[in-house]
C-alpha cells in the first residue's frame, strides 16, 4: 500500500518542497512530475492527493494510458473499468513499471470521458492524476488544453511523465515542474523489500539503474536468466558468427518487454567490456530499442540486425 515513508531519500527534497507549498497555500493547480519510470512519481502524486482531499468528499480521478482495441478506449464503461483496475494496482504498488504496456495511449475518447467529471461543481478539492502524460497524442493533449488554460476552482491536476520535454510546450508552460531523481542502490533495495520482494542481486541493481520499478519488473521477468543468454549471444556475435547468435536467440521469448530487456542488457554488457570499439554497437542498440518500442521494427528484426552489426564490427 502507498505510504509517504516509501518515498525514496533522493525524492524527499521534492516531497518536502511540495508539502511546504501545500502548507503555505500556494500549491499549483497544474503540477508536473518527471523522471525515470519506477522511481516513485505516482507515489508522490497519490500522497499529495490524500492531503489535498483530506476534507473533501470528491473521489480521486485518474487518467491512465490504456492498451487494447481503439473502441475500448472510446467506451466509457470499459475506460472506467480498466482505469479502476489499474489505479488499484498503483495503490498497491506505485513503483512497478509493468502495469502500463508499450502500446498504451491516452486517446481523445478517454479525455472526453475525463472531462465529464467537470460538468458538476465540486463539493471540495478535486484531484486528477494523469499518469504517463507523455503518452497523450497531440489530439488528446489539445482536447485538454482548454481545461488546462482555465482550471476549475478547487481542482488540481498532477501529471507524471518520463520527461517534460515529451509534452506539448503549451502544457509545460502551464505546469509547475519538478524532476524526481533516480534512487541509490540502497534505496532501490529498501523499496523492493517494502513491497515484498527479496533483496536484489548486484546484477539486478546494475540493470535497474536507480529505478525500483524496473528492478521489480526485472525480478518478475527472470532477468538474471536472460542475462546469461545475453552473454552467450554477444560472444557469438562479437566473434564474427552472426548466424550462431541469431540461431541461439531463437529460444528467447520475442515479446516486446523481453526483447526490450534483452537490448538494454546487451548494451550494458558491451559497456562493461570497456572496449571503445563497442560504443558504435551501443548506439545501434539504443536506436533499435526505440524502434522496437515504437513498433517500427519487429523484435525478431532487432535481434537479427544487431547480431549482424556486431559480427561485422561496423554499422
Average confidence (pLDDT) over 176-203: 94
Lowest mean pLDDT across 89-93, 134-138, 173-177: 134-138
- Asked whether residue 51 falls in the same domain as residue 138, the answer is yes
Q: How far is CA 213 from CA 52, 93, 98, in A?
A: 26, 9, 8
DSSP secondary structure, 211-270, as one string: -HHHHHHHHHTTHHHHHHHHHHHHHHHHTT-HHHHHHHGGGS---HHHHHHHHHHHHHHH
Percent share of the chain, pLDDT over 70: 98
Instruction: State residue 2's pLDDT score.
Output: 59
Q: Are residues 16 and 100 in the same domain?
A: yes
pLDDT higher than threshold 70 for residue 315: no
* Inside any domain, residue 208: no
Same domain? 68 vs 171: yes
pLDDT at residue number 31: 97
Residue 27, pLDDT > 80, answer yes
Q: Is the domain of 149 the same as that of 243? A: no
pLDDT value of residue 291: 82
The residue written with cell numbers 536467440 in the block is: 249
Sequence-distant (≥ 6) Cβ neighbours of residue 127 within 8 angstroms:
48, 49, 52, 53, 58, 60, 61, 155, 156, 157, 158
CB 176, CB 30: distance < 8 Å:
yes
222-272 per-position pLDDT tens digit: 888 888 889 999 999 999 999 999 999 888 887 777 888 888 889 888 988
What is the dihedral sign for C-alpha 183, 189, 195, 198? positive
Structure confidence at residue 314 as a pLDDT band (50, 70, 90): very low
- 82-95 pLDDT, tens per residue? 999 999 999 999 99
Q: Are residues 105 and 161 in the same domain?
A: yes
Q: Are residues 48 and 142 in the same domain?
A: yes
What grid cell was written down for 21? Answer: 507549498
- What is the pTM (predicted TM-score) of this model? 0.83
Let me know if residue 41 belongs to a domain.
yes
Q: Give backbone dihedrals phi and psi of 178, rounded to 5 degrees, phi first.
A: -130, 135
Clarify whether residues 168 and 251 are in a common domain.
Answer: no
Residues 141 and 245 in one domain: no
Query: How far apart are the C-alpha atoms of 237 and 253, rounded to whole Å?
Result: 19
- Quick one: 106 and 225 in the same domain? no
Q: Is 118 helix (H, G, I), strand (E, B) or coil?
A: helix
Of 151, 181, 211, at which residue does a domain stop? Answer: 181
Q: Provide the pLDDT for residue 6.
A: 94
What radius of gyration, in Å, describes the C-alpha atoms of the chain? Answer: 21
> What is the span of the domain harbouring residue 262?
221-312
| Tens digit of each residue's pLDDT (9 = 90 or more) over 62-115 | 999 998 788 778 888 999 999 999 999 999 999 998 888 777 889 999 999 999
Contacts (Cβ under 8 Å, ≥6 apart) of 239 = 311
What is the count of structural domains for the chain?
2
Question: Quick one: DSSP state of residue 35?
Answer: -
CA dist 44 → 51, 76, 163, 296 (Å): 11, 28, 16, 34
Tell me, yes or no, whether 65 and 151 share the same domain. Answer: yes
* CB half-sphere exposure, 33, CA atoms < 13 A: 28
pLDDT exceeds 90 at position 1? no
Residue 66 lies in a domain: yes
Region 191-204: mean pLDDT is 92
Q: Would the pLDDT of 183 be above 90?
A: yes
Per the DSSP assignment, residues forming a β-bridge with 106 are: 136
B/e letters for 107-120, b = 16+ CB within 10 Å, e = fewer, are bbbbbebbeebeee
**CA–CA distance, 236 with 53 (Å, rounded to integer):** 57
**What DSSP state is assigned to residue 127?**
E
Other Cβ atoms within 10 Å of 90 Cβ, number: 21
Kindly state whether residue 215 falls inside one of the protein's structural domains.
Answer: no
242 and 176 share a domain?
no
Closest CA to 60 of 20, 18, 94: 94
pLDDT value for 313:
55
- 168 and 277: one domain? no
Q: Which residue has the higher pLDDT, 49 or 275?
A: 49
Q: 108: domain CATH number?
A: 3.40.50.300
The whole-number average pLDDT for the span 186-192 is: 96
Q: What is the mean pLDDT of the chain?
A: 90
CB atoms within 10 A of CB 153: 9
What's the confidence (pLDDT) of residue 256?
Answer: 77
Amino acid at each position: 500500500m502507498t505510504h509517504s515513508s516509501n518515498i525514496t531519500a533522493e525524492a524527499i527534497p521534492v516531497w518536502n518542497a511540495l508539502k511546504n507549498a501545500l502548507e503555505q497555500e500556494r500549491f499549483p493547480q497544474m503540477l508536473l512530475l518527471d523522471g525515470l519510470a519506477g522511481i516513485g512519481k505516482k507515489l508522490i502524486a497519490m500522497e499529495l492527493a490524500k492531503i489535498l482531499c483530506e476534507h473533501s468528499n470528491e473521489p480521486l480521478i485518474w487518467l491512465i494510458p490504456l492498451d487494447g482495441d481503439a473502441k475500448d478506449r472510446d467506451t466509457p464503461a470499459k475506460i472506467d473499468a480498466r482505469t479502476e483496475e489499474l489505479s488499484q494496482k498503483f495503490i498497491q504498488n506505485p513503483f512497478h513499471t509493468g502495469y502500463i504496456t508499450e502500446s498504451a495511449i491516452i486517446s481523445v475518447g478517454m479525455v472526453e470521458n475525463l472531462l465529464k467529471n467537470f460538468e458538476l461543481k465540486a463539493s471540495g478539492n478535486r484531484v486528477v492524476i494523469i499518469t504517463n502524460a507523455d503518452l497523450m497524442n497531440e489530439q488528446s493533449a489539445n482536447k485538454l488544453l482548454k481545461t488546462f488554460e482555465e482550471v476549475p476552482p478547487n481542482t488540481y491536476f498532477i501529471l507524471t511523465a518520463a520527461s517534460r520535454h515529451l509534452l506539448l510546450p503549451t502544457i509545460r508552460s502551464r505546469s509547475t515542474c519538478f524532476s524526481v531523481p533516480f534512487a541509490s542502490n540502497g534505496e532501490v533495495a529498501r523499496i523492493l523489500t517494502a513491497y515484498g520482494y527479496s533483496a536484489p542481486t548486484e546484477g539486478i541493481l546494475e540493470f535497474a539503474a536507480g529505478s525500483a520499478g524496473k528492478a521489480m519488473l526485472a525480478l518478475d521477468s527472470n532477468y538474471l536468466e536472460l542475462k546469461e543468454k545475453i552473454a552467450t549471444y554477444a560472444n557469438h556475435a562479437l566473434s564474427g558468427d552472426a548466424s550462431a547468435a541469431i540461431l541461439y536467440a531463437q529460444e528467447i521469448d520475442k515479446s516486446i518487454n523481453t526483447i526490450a530487456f534483452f537490448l538494454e542488457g546487451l548494451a550494458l554488457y558491451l559497456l562493461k567490456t570497456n572496449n571503445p570499439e563497442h560504443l558504435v554497437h551501443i548506439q545501434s542498440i539504443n536506436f533499435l530499442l526505440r524502434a522496437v518500442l515504437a513498433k517500427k521494427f519487429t523484435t525478431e528484426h532487432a535481434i537479427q540486425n544487431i547480431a549482424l552489426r556486431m559480427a561485422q564490427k561496423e554499422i
